[in-house]
Amino acid sequence: MKKEMSEIKRRALLAKQRMKMGYWQKMQAERDRIMTETDDVSRIEMASNLRRKEFERTNNMALGDDFTEKDEKLYVKVKNILEKDENTLNPIGQLVEHSIYDFMDEANKQRYILELSAKFRELRERYYKEKAKYV
C-alpha cells in the first residue's frame, strides 16, 4: 500500500528539482536580460508577473490541483482557437461543453456562459502575453 506524500514533502521535492535543474539561475538570467534591454519599469513588472503566474501554474499542476488542470485544458483550447483565427466570431460557443450545458436550466446556462467568457478573457490575455514574450 502506497502512502500519500504529504504536502510539505511534495513541495520540498519540487523545490529540490527546481534547484537541480537551475530554474532560478535561468529566471535570474532572463530578468537581467529584460532589464538590460529596456528601461521601461512597466515592461519589467509585466515580465515579472508573467513569470510568477507561470511558476504558480506549474507548481499547482505538479501538486495535483484539479482547477489548474482544468484551466490548462481550457487554455489549450483557447490557444488553438486563437492560433487558427484571432478574429473568430464565436469563441465561447467553441469552448462550451455541450455534455454539461445541454442539461442545465436557463439560470445555470447563463451563469456558465458568463463564467466561461470571463475565463476566456483571462486566458486570451495570458496567450497574448506569452506570445509577446517569445516574439
Three cell numbers written together for 115: 463564467
Domain of 24, in residue numbers? 8-64
Q: Please give the Cα distance from 60 to 67 (Å, whole number).
A: 9
| 3 belongs to a structural domain | no
Residue pLDDT tens, the chain, 135 long: 445 667 778 778 777 887 788 877 777 777 777 667 766 666 666 666 667 777 766 666 655 655 566 778 888 889 888 888 877 788 888 888 888 888 888 888 888 888 888 889 888 888 888 777 655
- The structure's pTM equals 0.53
**What cell numbers appear for 82 in the block?**
486563437
Q: Tell which of 20, 46, 64 closes a domain.
A: 64
Q: Collapsing DSSP states into helix, strand and coil, what is residue 8? A: helix
* Domain-embedded: residue 28: yes
Domain boundary among 46, 64, 82: 64
Angstrom distances, CA of residue 62 to CA of 14, 34, 111, 131 = 8, 28, 30, 24
Q: Are residues 78 and 128 in the same domain?
A: yes
The answer on 133 and 71 residing in a single domain is yes
Boundary-marking domain end, from 17, 46, 64? 64
Does residue 76 sit in the same domain as residue 131? Answer: yes
Nearest to 28 by CA among 5, 6, 51, 7: 51
Which residue matches cell numbers 481550457? 74
**Grid coordinates of 47:** 515580465
Asked whether residue 58 falls in the same domain as residue 78, the answer is: no
How many domains are there within the chain? 2
Residue 37 resides in a domain: yes
104 and 90 within one domain: yes
